[in-house]
Structure 1
């Protein structure tokens, strides 16, 4: 099975449209969205409705959670006072332009999606979250200590855990067993469709392939494909500049 996973669109309609166009060429069996549909750009309603009309199973992101409840807090970890001030403008703008029906949709999104595969009589659990299983806005960066990442996955009973939120894609393979009884777990950050932060302005998503011989004892029995696609970055950046949103968000799109 080939599962497409995307997240962190952040109201970037040109990026989302390009993502769907690219996805049509990939021959996937299922598609899931891991949250943060809104914030930082001018198309929150359009992004929501593009996802809704396709019936894509979607979980809440921290920004979706805040806007769904008309909150002025997006749950973002801003590093500086300037970042905090810009963030206030962003969530205020999003709360102002989002429609009632679209806000209600965000409010009812689930916190996670769990899939259970039984291959050769053995269960394999896949968990989709936005930040982490513990908090929607917890950042799981690639350099998180192995013991900490392992504990999070074990407590969540996740053999494969897919998430977003940091906007920086990676795949880590961890062994929670020992030499005699290996148990490989996969932590997969799927990157961002509409607001990448890894120095590459192209949108990104993941295709996760579950093989017929998939097993916790074989670390190569799943395949993780990181896909990047071009989109009209200038259109998205100019939309920011022509709105009340801070121009810095346009620069971020151009630089990735």
Structure 2
């Protein structure tokens, strides 16, 4: 299993990577503080420099459509765009984002929806799912004609990944999260 520091290495293409919330937002304060301290102690200066150079958004055109990549929302890195969020919120983003397609994550729950001609695409999560499916999730975006996406799931050795987490000082909840896909704690671990 790769650690956060390994995944943050500068060998990644920074032109296609946006800054995420793991270093900006701590939702569950106690677990978040423990995770942050553990991660901070292991991130190399080289990887820290790489993380600091990541951009908050990426814009480009594909098949004549304006595409915007962000972590949380076009407004804030840590804003949650859950699928059931008020329509008026999506309408404001559609009107002000200057994009035809907005690609984001942060909730770790994949979905796609169209609001006022703008496609909203939550790509899911590769490493910390929250939709009840333990497999890594990514989206393949088709920008021809009407934008659409296909979600792909990839199996990996989740038991090995959970064991690697348990071999650290990190809380067991983190291992359970990847085993259950973020399902409620009462769900049976894989």
Listed one character per residue, the Cα deviations across residues 192-215 of structure 1 (whole Å, up to 9, x for unaligned) are 00111100000000010121xx3x
Q: TM-score, length-normalised on structure 1?
A: 0.67
Q: TM-score, length-normalised on structure 2?
A: 0.89
Instruction: State the alpha-carbon separation in 2 of the partners of residues 116 and 253 from structure 1.
Output: 34
Structure 1 residue 54 displacement after superposition: 4.9
Rg (Cα) greater in structure: 1
How does 1:82-161 map onto structure 2 within 5 Å? 84-117=29-62, 119=64, 124-161=65-102
Unpaired stretches in structure 2, ≥5 consecutive residues: 182-190
Listed one character per residue, the Cα deviations across residues 90-113 of structure 1 (whole Å, up to 9, x for unaligned) are 000000011000001001100000
Runs of 4+ in 1 over 6 A off after TM superposition: none
How does 1:17-36 map onto structure 2 within 5 Å? none
Q: What is aligned with 1:77?
A: 27
Aligned-CA RMSD value? 1.5
Listed one character per residue, the Cα deviations across residues 149-187 of structure 1 (whole Å, up to 9, x for unaligned) are 12112211121100000000000111x2xxxxxxx2111
Pair 1:248-2:169 in alignment: no
Unpaired stretches in structure 1, ≥5 consecutive residues: 1-11, 14-42, 67-73, 79-83, 177-183, 215-220
Structure 1 residue 62 displacement after superposition: 1.7
Instruction: State the alpha-carbon separation in 1 of the partners of residues 62 and 123 from structure 2.
Output: 20
**Equivalent residue of 1:97, what SS?**
coil
Instruction: State the alpha-carbon separation in 1 of the partners of residues 153 and 76 from structure 2.
Output: 27
Structure 1 residue 117 displacement after superposition: 4.1
Structure 1 residue 58 displacement after superposition: 0.6
Q: What is aligned with 1:81?
A: none
Q: Higher relative contact order by CA 8 Å / sep ≥ 6: 1 or 2?
A: 1
Pair 1:186-2:122 in alignment: no
Pair 1:61-2:20 in alignment: yes
Listed one character per residue, the Cα deviations across residues 39-90 of structure 1 (whole Å, up to 9, x for unaligned) are xxxx1222123xx435352110122xx3xxxxxxx41333xxxxx2111110
Aligned residue pair count = 180
Pair 1:45-2:5 in alignment: yes
